[in-house]
Amino acid sequence: MIRTVLILASLLAANLFAANIKGMRFWQSPDSTRVVVDLTGPAEHSIFTLKDPDRMVIDLKGAALSFDPADLDIKSSLVQHVRTSEKDNSVRVVLDLKRTVSFKSFELEPYQSYGHRLVVDLLDESNQEEPPKPKAATTTGKRDIVVAIDAGHGGDDPGAVGAKGTLEKTIALSVAKELAKKVDATPGMKAVLVRKGDYFINLRKRTQIARQNQADIFVSIHADGFHDKRARGSSVWVVSPKGAESEMGRWLEQRENESDLLGGVESLSNKDPLLAKVLLDLSTSYSVSASLDAATHVHHKMARVAPKMHKKRVERAAFVVLKMPDIPAMLVELAFISNPQEEKLLRSSSHRQKLANAIYDGLHVYFKDNPPDGTLFASQRKKPTHYTIKSGDTLSGIASRFNLSIAELKQLNKLNGDDIRIGQRLKLTR
């Protein structure tokens, strides 16, 4: 009889408290604060804000509190304090705010090392979204080449983790900042760090930041993780509309594209038309060829400093973050953080510096050879007098590349038609 009562009591307690609130975490980004409530199970909740003073109230029904708000590490430009109370099998969490906010919230199912989560994004109403920034001109009147540098993962999404606890997100940000210093120190070039600190940015937002800054190229930096610790080598990737071309590529593609599940985003398949647009297969031939050309230069420079390259050429996979029809893009895997020897190298500041320098050198060579119109680099480049035709060249493409009309190009070379042949040398000036 006593045992039956105890069983009934435990079942009743389980029904009363569907979820324990294990804790709360805060991630600050430049324009928002993410509040993550860690739960042992799903919990019915409601959220509303109050004014005078500004507060946010989160009510969770059928929940129990199992953490002390005094122990919270509140990293936020919007949240001052957290208060909690329990009543009638429910928990009320009150966030004392520094100013008025708007918000959106969503629940996340368990994924990898994370359990159930309630995510609340607080948006500063005084911080309006910036319009696209014009490409800044230098003192010469010619604009800078804009390099968008994306440090992979961040916040709740640590990326791959080495045996010694080295986090991919930390290594990626370190190299990204070193690369940005090199770019900014070069006259005619300007770096835009997509992620400046330890916070999560979803894949769509990363590409959106590049567009807002009118980037000329997008470089995403990562550090491989693989289930086999023997896997090693640096690699450079460009997008493949057909998906990954190798088993390793398919594995990495899945891991990187699932980043949003770790960091936490709503289901975007039917809620976000902008992402759906980004996910379309690339349709701009310039972006495809420019991505491969730039990535090849970076691969060549990295081969000089990395102990080993994973492949002897640039690889392809359908990384979501690279699927931009308007901006050339590449993804650089610095090394395998899951390999003990390469993890040790990644922990070395001098090696990270070498890797950043190699990426910079590859980009610099590419833009010296292929400066965008209107840039300082373009104004400093000596116009070639001749061009030797390569496979895939067309007369219209050559004319466009060297700012000539087709008629001018034909006249210079006394061509009667559009037929050209590989190896043929064309005059570009009189």
Higher pLDDT, 214 or 281: 214
Least confident among 22-31, 276-285, 294-303, 392-401 = 276-285
DSSP E strands in 40-131: the ranges are 45-50, 55-61, 63-65, 79-87, 90-97, 101-108, 116-124
Report the percent of the chain where pLDDT is more than 90: 47
Contacts 24+ apart (CB under 8 A), 371-375: 371/145, 372/145, 372/216, 373/403, 374/135, 374/142, 374/143, 375/142, 375/143, 375/144, 375/145, 375/188, 375/216
Least confident among 248-252, 292-296, 376-380 = 248-252
* One domain, residues 40 and 158: no
pLDDT tens-digit map of 389-427: 888 788 888 887 787 888 888 999 989 888 888 889 999
CATH for 73: 2.60.40.3500
CATH for 407: 3.10.350.10
Report the percent of the chain where pLDDT is more than 70: 82
**Mean pLDDT computed over 322-339:** 88
pLDDT tens-digit map of 210-253: 989 999 999 999 998 888 889 899 999 998 766 545 655 565 66
Under a CB-based contact definition with an 8 Å cutoff, are residues 372 and 145 in contact? yes
Alpha-carbon torsion 307, 309, 312, 313, what sign?
negative
How many residues does this entry show for the chain?
Answer: 430
**Mean pLDDT computed over 345-369:** 96
Least confident among 10-19, 26-35, 185-194 = 10-19
Is residue 409 assigned to a domain?
A: yes
Residue 264: pLDDT band (50, 70, 90) is low
**Quick one: pLDDT at residue 331?**
93
Where is the domain boundary, 124, 156, 190?
124
Check whether 268 has a pLDDT greater than 50. Answer: no
Check whether 277 has a pLDDT greater than 50. Answer: no
Q: Tell me how many domains the chain contains.
A: 3
**Quick one: pLDDT at residue 321?**
73
Structural tokens at position 203: 């894949």
Predicted TM-score (pTM) of this structure = 0.71
Is residue 294 assigned to a domain?
A: yes
* One domain, residues 387 and 260: no
Average pLDDT, the chain: 83
Check whether 68 has a pLDDT greater than 50. Answer: yes
Higher pLDDT, 201 or 251: 201
* One domain, residues 298 and 354: yes
- Residue recorded with tokens 């791959």: 160
Please state, in angstroms and rounded to a whole number, the distance separating the CA atoms of residues 179 and 188: 15
Is residue 237 assigned to a domain?
A: yes
* One domain, residues 335 and 390: no
**Mean pLDDT computed over 140-166:** 91
Least confident among 100-104, 223-227, 262-266, 348-352 = 262-266
Domain that holds residue 117: 17-124
Q: Classify the phi-psi angles of 297: left when phi > 0, otherwise alpha if psi is within -120 to 50, otherwise beta.
A: alpha
Check whether 2 has a pLDDT greater than 70. Answer: no
